[in-house]
Amino acid sequence: MIIETAARLRLPAIYPFRFYAVSGGLISYGIDQTELVREAASYVDRILRGANPGELPVQLPTKYQLVININTARMLGLTVPSSMQLLADEMIE
């Protein structure tokens, strides 16, 4: 609903997760959810092997993704600079 409303109003929008850009949003920039799940699985493994959860360090995300939907940019009449395209982890066409 958010993506549809932004598109109808011709508003460029940045979203926090990749699936928004894949679903038609202009840009997403946020944590790599796959990496986050891997880290969580590592913690679960350590706990199941006997580690005390209270002694495990708090970890922050270390990998972020920039995803640009070129089709949406064209629809909005925007040109994505080549410098930004080079920084993108994924370009959706």
Residue keyed to tokens 């995803």: 67
What's residue 59's pLDDT? Answer: 87
Rounded Cα–Cα distance for residues 35 and 82 (Å)? 27
Provide the number of structural domains found in the chain. Answer: 1
Mean pLDDT value across residues 51-68: 92
Structural domain range at position 78: 2-92
What's residue 62's pLDDT? Answer: 86
What's residue 70's pLDDT? Answer: 96
Kindly report the pTM of this predicted structure. 0.81
Please give the torsion angle defined by the CA atoms of residues 49, 53, 57 and 60, in that order, rounded to the nearest 10 degrees.
Answer: 100
**What is the Cβ-side half-sphere exposure of residue 43, based on CA atoms within 13 angstroms?**
15
What are the tens digits of pLDDT across the range 37-59?
A: 988 999 999 999 999 999 999 98
